[in-house]
């Protein structure tokens, strides 16, 4: 079967993008990254993509009058690349319901908490403040409600007594880098089941 054509949307350093790039490089992996889009021109992840010979595009939301034309530009770029799946990887724009509905079942995200715990920002600080025993990450399908949607893969890590938000984030990130490629593989191997 042809490899699943994947686009990755980023806004920053792109360590999850790197994990996806590395996974796709493995012989026999059922997906390939055909395009990386960033809404931030100097996002570090763009260089990671370019180093791997992957096409990149900057679509700066500030160049558009509102979310709808920005999302139309995203949609046009994704269609032009014939993307079959879109992975949000540290993409820091909320996508509106019309865009999400257009891509529903083909749009996934990684979030640094064990959803439904801690949707939104500052997940690690909130887990520590609550005295949570475990933190983790979730790869899920995107639905119009933010950080909701069917879970594909989750992994947990312990919260240690001396953790700061930074040390916990670093521990969670190591499992993010395993979960996102696994989720991509599961989807690519089970096409049509979304």
Site of interaction with ligand GRF (CB under 6 A): 12-17, 89-90, 110-112, 137, 173, 176
And the tokens for 24? 């796709």
Which position's Cβ is nearest ligand GRF?
90
Catalytic residue among 111, 124, 140, 177: 111
- Residue 91 CB, shortest distance to ligand GRF, in Å, is 7
Our CB check for ligand GRF shows the closer of 112 and 149 to be 112
The contacts of residue 83 (CB under 8 Å, 6+ apart) are: 5, 6, 7, 34, 35, 106
- Residue 37 CB, shortest distance to ligand GRF, in Å, is 14
- Residue 192 CB, shortest distance to ligand GRF, in Å, is 27
Angle formed at CA 165 by CA 48 and CA 156, multiple of 5 degrees = 80
Has 124 been annotated as catalytic?
no
Our CB check for ligand GRF shows the closer of 148 and 173 to be 173
Our CB check for ligand GRF shows the closer of 88 and 187 to be 88
Our CB check for ligand GRF shows the closer of 90 and 181 to be 90
- Residue 151 CB, shortest distance to ligand GRF, in Å, is 14
Q: Cite the active site residues.
A: 111
């Amino acid at each position: 079967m042809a490899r699943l054509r994947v686009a990755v949307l980023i806004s920053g350093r792109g360590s999850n993008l790197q994990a996806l790039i590395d996974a796709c490089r493995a012989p026999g992996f059922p997906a390939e990254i055909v395009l990386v889009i960033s809404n931030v021109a100097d996002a570090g992840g763009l260089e990671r993509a370019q180093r791997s010979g992957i096409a990149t595009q900057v679509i700066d939301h500030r160049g558009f009058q509102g979310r709808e034309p920005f999302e139309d530009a995203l949609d046009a770029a994704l269609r032009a690349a014939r993307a079959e799946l879109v992975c949000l990887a540290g993409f820091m724009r909320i996508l509106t319901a019309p865009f999400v509905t257009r891509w529903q079942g083909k749009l996934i995200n990684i979030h640094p908490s064990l959803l439904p715990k801690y949707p939104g920002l500052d997940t690690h600080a909130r887990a520590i403040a609550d005295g949570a025993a475990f933190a983790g990450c979730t790869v899920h399908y995107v639905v119009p409600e933010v950080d909701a949607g069917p879970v594909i893969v989750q992994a947990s890590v312990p919260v240690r007594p001396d953790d700061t938000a930074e040390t916990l984030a670093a521990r969670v990130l190591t499992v993010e880098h395993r979960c996102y490629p696994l989720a991509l593989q599961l989807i690519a191997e089970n096409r049509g089941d979304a």
